[in-house]
Structure 1
């Protein structure tokens, strides 16, 4: 199946997705792989937006747990997302995908300011739009920023790329009895405290009826297959009636 089911999508990437098997920073080969996976989706003709985290460089929660003021730590994390966004932009444009970085924190020398209408216009022109610096506010994760931006641009689906195949009833790392969940509703995720996204992000997705698809980024073709409506990963949506 090579026909896109969704026409406007937002892809959420963790900063760790760019590390490869390393412990820090950006792995060039992994960055190139991610760029090619995004290109395979763009080639379907969809409008693609991306939010990338900064955990491969600095994570705000980690900084605050070591005594740093939470707001200051979160701002450092936002700057890390800008670095990742610029790296991804460079990788995409090397393979002829026009890309724009829009930052929630003003830094005109390297990125455009985030303006919703400008973002939508870029998407309509088939440019990949990378939303950097989270929401621009401390105390909010990049998962929440991804849901917020998806709602603002009226994305039909938010694709959350992870290191595992989807949602499990417990952490599959080290738990051989963990069971894969193919479909689940927002409220169940909240009630069972499944750590797919933080509760603010899930609640915001639920309030805006935003479909979430959680899948393994390391499986080549998963982004494209998810956009084509194939059974990839876990769907988080409204409960079935």
Structure 2
């Protein structure tokens, strides 16, 4: 299989569940540290790294809304959870001596910078890791959509979608031993087959802007560097 080109600027999409690790709730310090070390590895190699982080390990707005909570209020609470994850990841990165900036779509000046596109790009150019929190700042939009939006805005070369499995499979590989890994898909394949990789709004935005997505297992140390280097791990989604 042909290797994809090594990229200069990438956006890493981390789910809240990835931060949770084997815990049932919250942030696993070991996972947080592992992610920080992997980000440090690619950052020190000269790759500009931006991160969009979810909050599902603390609060899921959609789940709360399904139980009767007002959807808008629930989504805003979920955005606050992403801030907590962002600050935790910033701490872990700075322990590894990686300079970071947290930028938020909802203004919280005591905790983070407001999201300003030009400022984010300038941070990246200076070698700082930029963590985007609070999604798009709007209810009804997922952090997947925020990742696609921010990636397009900062002119990222690819989205690295971090998951617990090493790519996209025909079935759930945890439940079905005969599940087969799919190495390459198009954005339209994902949309037509309604694959639950990212929400359809995010995938459509990536398709419209010819933005590749690499789905890979973040739990295995070294995989982030391999994904950036274009090695054949995970599933690659392109036009």
TM range (shorter): over 0.9
| TM-score of the pair, normalised by structure 1 | 0.96
- Partners of 1:119 and 1:133 in 2: CA distance: 15
- Match of 2:185, SS state, is strand
- Partners of 1:154 and 1:221 in 2: CA distance: 25
Gaps of at least 5 residues in structure 2 are none
Worse-superposed segment, 43-52 or 97-106: 43-52
Aligned to 1:213: 214
- Match of 1:203, SS state, is helix
- Partners of 1:237 and 1:169 in 2: CA distance: 18
Question: Is 1:153 paired with 2:154?
Answer: yes
| TM-score of the pair, normalised by structure 2 | 0.96
How far apart are 1:175 and its partner, in Å? Answer: 2.1
Q: Deviations over 1:134-170 (max 9, x none)?
A: 0000001101100100000000010000001101123
Aligned to 2:131: 130
- Partners of 2:46 and 2:15 in 1: CA distance: 24
How far apart are 1:172 and its partner, in Å? Answer: 2.3
How far apart are 1:177 and its partner, in Å? Answer: 2.5
- Match of 2:101, SS state, is strand
Aligned to 2:233: 232
- Partners of 1:175 and 1:70 in 2: CA distance: 34
RMSD, aligned α-carbons: 0.9
How far apart are 1:75 and its partner, in Å? Answer: 0.5
- Partners of 2:98 and 2:90 in 1: CA distance: 9
Note the 1:168-207 alignment, pairs <5 A. Answer: 168-207=169-208
Contact 1:170 1:194 in 2 (8 A): no
Runs (4+) off by over 6 Å = none
